Amino acid sequence: MLASIGLVLPKQTADELNALSDMQAQPMLLPGVVLLQVSLGLLALSAWYWAKAAFSARFGADDSLETRPGMETADRAAFEAVPRIVFLGGVLLAAFLLWRGFSWVQALSVAVWGVPAYILIRWHAPVCTRALERRARLHRLRSTSNLRVWPLVAAGRVRALLILAPFGSRVSVPLLIAGILPFVWGAIEGYVRLWPSYPGLPAYAAQVFPGPSVALIGLALLIAPFSALIIAADGFRMETVILSRLTGFARPPVMTCLVVWTAAAPLLFSLHTVRTVEPSRQVVAAAARAPLDAFLADWIKACGQNQDAVLHPIVVAVSGGASRAGIWGAHVLAAVQAAAAGAPNAGVFAVSSVSGGSLGAAAYLAVMQAAPRRCGPGSDAVSTTLERLDTQRLGGDGLGPLLAGALLNDMPRALFAPAAAMVRAAFGQSPRGGDRAEALERAFEHLWRADLAADPNAAGVPGFSAPFLSLFYDDKRALRPGMPIWITNGTDVTSGGRVLTEPFGSLGDVAWPFRAATDAIGLLDADVPISTAINNSARFAYLEPAGELVSVVSAPRQMRGQTAQLIDGGYFDNEGLQTAYEMALWLQDQHPQGRSIEPIIVQATANADLALAAKDEVVRCPNAPVDIPTGITKGPKVLELLAPVLGLYNVRQAHTAVLLREVRDHYCDVRPRIRHFFHFYLFQGEAQDIPLNWLLSAASVGAIRAQLPLGEPGGVDDQGGNTIELAGLRAALYERPAKGETAEAR
């Protein structure tokens, strides 16, 4: 049921399957969609195998003479029928999934493994015999309410489970061990970093079984230890006599207890602390970061050498949207960089990103760090490098490691939290990472490393495992000339305000133009890896846990106590525009050496929720869309119970709509015929939807990039208006109207 809900219901499934069909997983070099079928088959077989074993061990036992008379002569048909139905459910899931993603021809390919497996189950699986039952000593395994006797009963029940499983203990014991080992290994690495470059079990598992396949394999393996645990606990009766009536649980509610404890453990222990950089790798201490004013002075020195021209620092806001926002954000930043190359006193000054948009921003900043020139003539080489890189693997598999981290790290980590707490308290340590959030961060690092390895011209571009502050400071702790500022936007659980990861200082009497916002690096008292800076804005609801911002200089503690918690920046502002707007307003108020600053705001939105025909609904200069006071968005009626929740959710989008209009009205007419607000919008694909996911197909990546052709404009069928926006940006940077731009459009 879990597999069916997770695979069939989401609309991202079709694109996932296309992505897997394009992917060859290492080291077997099989297409990902074949491995998906393998994982579905293993899940179906595992469910059948342990269901049959559990039926035989549980109902074959003479558990209660009062409630199970005549067990010796009972019909055992259910022992065979129900497990077979479970197996056939897995086969139907695989067939329906492939039909939905491809065609009935692909769905019929499930028969390649489904039919032989069913023949094995139907005609060659040994039936639970009386001889096996006598060997399993089922007559001695009645449940007990005596806690001292129960361990012996539990051990006997597990032994019976293994004996009565199909093909006997020679098969069941290795399968049980295979299910326990990853669980134990995940618990160990959830608390102990084995070696510095170790990527973690989820990363290795996702390389072999990409995308949702790794979660299916994890579920298949977990059935064995959970079956053994439930059979063992089933021998203990939690009943007592009250007023001459038997009251209480006939058996412990094992799965309910596990779910409740897994959910409650993070309240008691620090399980999801944000990762930091080791002190030996930190380029600059958190308290020694340069103020924002110093970054502006450095940018002017590198990019604003023409004393007679107005300064045009560009502030880019990149919205959230998982991998599609990463591809779109990197593509828009490449276009902006190319447009600004050679423009007088212009260049990208700051990037404000949210969620998936931070992935693309990180790629841009990493290439910028290695660039010989970051503004002025020759700086378009950055966009050329980025074009070669972001088309390949930024949309690759981040989903598999995330799902594997949830199963292989977070579950055992929560179960063994008390024991780990005592060990860490004895050694005075506090956990950092080791959860599914780190698994996703490691996936970002792997995807970017693969991108860099594919391009020999990308030498010197740092990986995402590098310290965040190393993007902006060199080995001598000096600012890198002309390097743009990068701000990732997270949200604080308690206050609902922004938590910013940024390279400039916030302590003392320094510029801090961001209202009701906090400094993540200041709270941590340490630098973070670039991949963690990305994820500080991308902790999506339920897929990832809230990150605890525990300072490295405070007393080590395992109990969480009063700790700031970080979630996805899209809760507050999914566009990243509020931070960009406040940065632009601050720039306007600065007059270094009497010079005038006219910032330009560029918004890159990756919602992919509007069709091209609705492009007039995108907020753009001079007055689009035209708001009608009597107009209101209509939709189907909702349940009264859900109306408050849906209303709160949609208010977030309404706040964004208001902010976009405020920025448009402020920056559309800075000076006559020159506008300083540009909005690049990712529309729905013409042939397919572009899904919200951490795994995209090559077709989706191509559809994203096709909506903003780079190079000189002209002759391009620009249905969405993005090419016109790029031409308008070039005109603003050179302070002349765009070619072909009408007065009304200006």
Most confident among 56-65, 109-118, 424-433 (mean pLDDT): 109-118
In this structure, of 47-51, 542-546, 634-638, the range with the lowest mean pLDDT score is 634-638
Summary mean pLDDT of the chain? 85
Give the confidence band of 443 by pLDDT, cuts at 50, 70, 90: very high
Residue 71 has pLDDT above 70, yes or no: no
User: Which domains, from first to last, does the chain contain?
Assistant: 2-231 (no CATH), 279-396+439-551+567-626+638-734 (3.40.1090)
Can you give the pLDDT at residue 558? 44
Can you give the pLDDT at residue 621? 92
Residue 244 has pLDDT above 90, yes or no: no
Q: Distance from CA of residue 86 to its chain's centroid?
A: 31
pLDDT digits (tens, 9 = 90+) for 286-337: 999 999 999 999 999 999 888 878 899 999 999 999 999 999 999 999 999 9
Across the strands, what pairs with 489?
Answer: 354, 500
Q: How far apart are CA 627 and CA 613, in angstroms?
A: 18
Q: What percent of the chain has pLDDT over 70?
A: 90
Q: What is the mean pLDDT of residues 270-274?
A: 87
Residue 72 has pLDDT above 70, yes or no: no
Can you give the pLDDT at residue 606? 95
Question: What CA–CA distances, in Å, run from 21 to 9, 24, 36, 216, 516?
Answer: 20, 8, 10, 17, 46
CA-based nearest residue to 249, from 265, 270, 233: 233
pLDDT digits (tens, 9 = 90+) for 181-220: 998 888 888 777 777 677 888 888 988 899 999 999 999 9
Most confident among 10-14, 28-32, 522-526 (mean pLDDT): 522-526
Q: Which amino acid is at 585?
A: L
Task: Tell me 562's DSSP state.
Answer: S
Per-residue tokens: 191: 């608390």
Residue 423 has pLDDT above 70, yes or no: no
Residue 585 has pLDDT above 60, yes or no: yes
Question: For the whole model, what pTM was predicted?
Answer: 0.90
CA-based nearest residue to 362, from 483, 532, 534: 534
Which residues in 120-159 are b (16+ Cβ under 10 Å) and which e? ebeeebeebeeebbeebebeebebeeeeeebeebbebbbb
Most confident among 115-124, 712-721, 728-737 (mean pLDDT): 115-124
Q: Are 729 and 602 in contact (CB under 8 A)?
A: yes
Q: What is the mean pLDDT of residues 98-106?
A: 79
Most confident among 10-24, 201-215, 386-400, 543-557 (mean pLDDT): 201-215
Q: What percent of the chain has pLDDT over 90?
A: 44
Q: How far apart are CA 26 and CA 609, in angstroms?
A: 34
pLDDT digits (tens, 9 = 90+) for 488-498: 999 999 999 99
Q: Are 398 and 694 in contact (CB under 8 A)?
A: yes
Residue 745 has pLDDT above 80, yes or no: no
